[in-house]
Amino acid sequence: MAIKGRVAITGRPGVGKTTTIERLVEILPLSAGGMITKEIRVCGHRVGFSLVDVATGEQGILAHIHHRDGPRIGRYTVDLRSIEEIGIRAIRHAIDRCELIVIDEIAPMELTSPLFVPAIEEALAGDRSLLISTHAHADHPLAHRVRQELTLFRIKQGNRDGIVSEIAAHFGVER
Protein backbone atom coordinates (compact mmCIF):
# COMPACT_ATOMS: atom_id res chain seq x y z
CA MET A 1 0.00 0.00 0.00
CA ALA A 2 1.42 3.38 -1.01
CA ILE A 3 1.48 6.13 1.57
CA LYS A 4 0.23 9.43 0.20
CA GLY A 5 0.94 12.82 1.63
CA ARG A 6 1.23 16.27 0.19
CA VAL A 7 2.87 18.55 2.73
CA ALA A 8 4.18 22.11 2.65
CA ILE A 9 6.49 23.36 5.36
CA THR A 10 6.99 27.06 5.94
CA GLY A 11 8.89 29.16 8.39
CA ARG A 12 11.43 31.91 8.76
CA PRO A 13 15.02 31.41 7.55
CA GLY A 14 17.09 29.33 9.96
CA VAL A 15 14.13 27.90 11.89
CA GLY A 16 14.79 24.30 10.81
CA LYS A 17 12.87 23.61 7.59
CA THR A 18 15.73 21.75 5.93
CA THR A 19 16.60 19.79 9.08
CA THR A 20 12.94 18.76 9.39
CA ILE A 21 12.89 17.59 5.78
CA GLU A 22 16.12 15.61 6.22
CA ARG A 23 14.70 13.86 9.29
CA LEU A 24 11.47 13.04 7.45
CA VAL A 25 13.33 11.60 4.45
CA GLU A 26 15.16 9.30 6.90
CA ILE A 27 12.03 7.98 8.61
CA LEU A 28 9.38 7.87 5.89
CA PRO A 29 9.19 4.46 4.20
CA LEU A 30 9.14 6.03 0.73
CA SER A 31 11.78 6.23 -1.97
CA ALA A 32 12.69 9.92 -2.05
CA GLY A 33 14.17 12.19 -4.65
CA GLY A 34 14.35 15.88 -5.32
CA MET A 35 16.51 18.67 -3.92
CA ILE A 36 17.56 20.11 -0.59
CA THR A 37 19.37 23.40 0.01
CA LYS A 38 21.89 23.83 2.81
CA GLU A 39 23.85 26.75 4.19
CA ILE A 40 27.56 27.00 3.44
CA ARG A 41 29.37 28.41 6.46
CA VAL A 42 32.99 29.46 6.83
CA CYS A 43 34.24 30.32 10.32
CA GLY A 44 30.65 30.57 11.52
CA HIS A 45 29.58 33.00 8.79
CA ARG A 46 27.13 32.09 6.04
CA VAL A 47 28.79 32.58 2.65
CA GLY A 48 26.35 30.73 0.44
CA PHE A 49 24.02 27.83 -0.12
CA SER A 50 24.57 24.39 -1.60
CA LEU A 51 22.10 22.32 -3.54
CA VAL A 52 21.91 18.56 -2.92
CA ASP A 53 20.22 15.85 -4.99
CA VAL A 54 18.32 13.78 -2.39
CA ALA A 55 18.59 10.52 -4.36
CA THR A 56 22.25 10.67 -5.43
CA GLY A 57 23.90 13.06 -2.99
CA GLU A 58 25.32 15.11 -5.88
CA GLN A 59 26.03 18.67 -4.74
CA GLY A 60 26.44 22.04 -6.36
CA ILE A 61 26.48 25.69 -5.35
CA LEU A 62 23.05 27.32 -5.34
CA ALA A 63 24.41 30.76 -4.49
CA HIS A 64 27.57 32.23 -3.03
CA ILE A 65 28.96 35.62 -2.03
CA HIS A 66 32.05 35.09 -4.22
CA HIS A 67 30.27 34.11 -7.45
CA ARG A 68 30.09 36.89 -10.01
CA ASP A 69 28.09 35.42 -12.90
CA GLY A 70 24.34 35.10 -12.40
CA PRO A 71 21.34 36.81 -10.84
CA ARG A 72 21.90 38.53 -7.49
CA ILE A 73 19.67 37.99 -4.47
CA GLY A 74 20.88 40.17 -1.62
CA ARG A 75 24.61 39.61 -1.24
CA TYR A 76 24.55 36.25 -3.05
CA THR A 77 24.97 35.45 -6.73
CA VAL A 78 22.83 32.53 -7.89
CA ASP A 79 24.34 29.73 -9.99
CA LEU A 80 21.60 28.98 -12.52
CA ARG A 81 23.56 26.05 -13.92
CA SER A 82 23.48 24.23 -10.57
CA ILE A 83 19.75 24.85 -10.18
CA GLU A 84 19.06 23.45 -13.62
CA GLU A 85 21.64 20.64 -13.83
CA ILE A 86 21.29 19.37 -10.26
CA GLY A 87 18.08 20.73 -8.71
CA ILE A 88 15.63 20.55 -11.59
CA ARG A 89 17.12 17.29 -12.87
CA ALA A 90 16.68 15.82 -9.36
CA ILE A 91 13.04 16.97 -9.22
CA ARG A 92 12.28 15.50 -12.66
CA HIS A 93 13.97 12.23 -11.68
CA ALA A 94 11.80 12.11 -8.54
CA ILE A 95 8.65 12.79 -10.58
CA ASP A 96 9.46 9.81 -12.81
CA ARG A 97 10.90 7.33 -10.32
CA CYS A 98 10.31 8.13 -6.64
CA GLU A 99 7.39 7.83 -4.24
CA LEU A 100 8.24 11.10 -2.46
CA ILE A 101 9.24 14.33 -4.22
CA VAL A 102 11.28 16.66 -2.00
CA ILE A 103 11.63 20.35 -2.92
CA ASP A 104 13.54 22.51 -0.44
CA GLU A 105 12.72 25.29 -1.09
CA ILE A 106 10.53 27.62 -3.10
CA ALA A 107 12.30 30.91 -2.46
CA PRO A 108 13.75 33.85 -4.40
CA MET A 109 17.08 32.16 -5.30
CA GLU A 110 15.46 29.09 -6.83
CA LEU A 111 12.84 31.19 -8.59
CA THR A 112 15.54 32.98 -10.62
CA SER A 113 15.63 29.95 -12.92
CA PRO A 114 12.96 30.07 -15.64
CA LEU A 115 12.87 26.25 -15.58
CA PHE A 116 12.15 25.97 -11.84
CA VAL A 117 8.45 26.94 -11.82
CA PRO A 118 7.46 24.48 -14.61
CA ALA A 119 9.25 21.64 -12.77
CA ILE A 120 7.34 22.41 -9.55
CA GLU A 121 4.06 22.69 -11.44
CA GLU A 122 4.74 19.26 -12.97
CA ALA A 123 5.31 17.81 -9.49
CA LEU A 124 2.09 19.41 -8.21
CA ALA A 125 0.11 18.03 -11.16
CA GLY A 126 1.19 14.45 -10.43
CA ASP A 127 -0.06 11.99 -7.85
CA ARG A 128 3.19 11.46 -5.92
CA SER A 129 3.68 12.32 -2.28
CA LEU A 130 5.19 15.78 -1.85
CA LEU A 131 7.33 17.43 0.80
CA ILE A 132 7.92 21.06 -0.16
CA SER A 133 9.27 23.94 1.87
CA THR A 134 8.63 27.61 1.19
CA HIS A 135 10.15 30.73 2.62
CA ALA A 136 7.63 32.19 5.09
CA HIS A 137 7.35 35.45 3.17
CA ALA A 138 7.77 34.17 -0.40
CA ASP A 139 5.35 36.33 -2.37
CA HIS A 140 5.24 34.33 -5.58
CA PRO A 141 2.10 32.72 -7.07
CA LEU A 142 3.74 29.29 -6.90
CA ALA A 143 4.55 29.65 -3.19
CA HIS A 144 0.98 30.81 -2.52
CA ARG A 145 -0.37 27.84 -4.49
CA VAL A 146 1.76 25.34 -2.56
CA ARG A 147 0.71 26.81 0.79
CA GLN A 148 -2.98 26.64 -0.24
CA GLU A 149 -3.10 23.23 -1.98
CA LEU A 150 -0.89 21.17 0.34
CA THR A 151 -1.33 20.48 4.04
CA LEU A 152 0.62 23.33 5.62
CA PHE A 153 2.88 23.03 8.66
CA ARG A 154 4.46 26.19 10.11
CA ILE A 155 7.76 25.65 11.88
CA LYS A 156 8.67 28.00 14.72
CA GLN A 157 11.33 27.89 17.42
CA GLY A 158 8.74 26.58 19.89
CA ASN A 159 7.39 23.67 17.82
CA ARG A 160 10.32 22.51 15.72
CA ASP A 161 11.34 19.64 18.00
CA GLY A 162 7.95 17.92 17.81
CA ILE A 163 6.94 18.77 14.28
CA VAL A 164 8.74 15.83 12.66
CA SER A 165 6.44 13.38 14.46
CA GLU A 166 3.40 15.46 13.58
CA ILE A 167 4.28 15.54 9.86
CA ALA A 168 5.25 11.84 9.84
CA ALA A 169 1.81 11.04 11.28
CA HIS A 170 0.27 12.96 8.36
CA PHE A 171 2.09 10.49 6.08
CA GLY A 172 0.71 7.61 8.15
CA VAL A 173 3.91 6.91 10.11
CA GLU A 174 3.74 6.81 13.89
CA ARG A 175 6.96 7.59 15.79
Q: How far is CA 40 from CA 8, 36, 150, in A?
A: 24, 13, 29
Q: How far apart, in Å, are the Cα atoms of 113 and each of 110, 118, 146? A: 6, 10, 18
Tell me the mean pLDDT in the region 148-165: 92
Mind listing the pLDDT tens digit for each residue in 107-154? 999 999 999 999 999 999 999 999 999 988 888 999 999 999 999 999
Confidence of residue 175 (pLDDT cuts 50, 70, 90): low
pLDDT at 166: 94
pLDDT in tens, 51-67: 999 999 999 999 999 98
Mean pLDDT, rounded, for 148-172: 92
User: Residue 4: pLDDT band by 50, 70, 90 thresholds?
Assistant: low
Q: What is the CATH number of domain 17-36+83-170?
A: 3.40.50.300
Is residue 21 predicted with pLDDT exceeding 50?
yes
Indicate if the pLDDT at residue 1 is higher than 80: no
Residues in contact with 164: Cβ distance below 8 Å, sequence separation at least 6, in sequence order: 20, 23, 24, 27, 175
Residues 6+ apart with CB under 8 A from 17: 9, 10, 11, 104, 105, 133, 155
pLDDT, tens digit (0-9, with 9 covering 90-100), for 57-93: 999 999 999 988 999 999 999 999 999 999 999 999 9
Q: Is the pLDDT of residue 3 over 50?
A: no
Task: Give the mean model confidence (pLDDT) for residues 42-57.
Answer: 96
Where do the domains of the chain lie?
17-36+83-170
The per-residue pLDDT for 14 is: 86
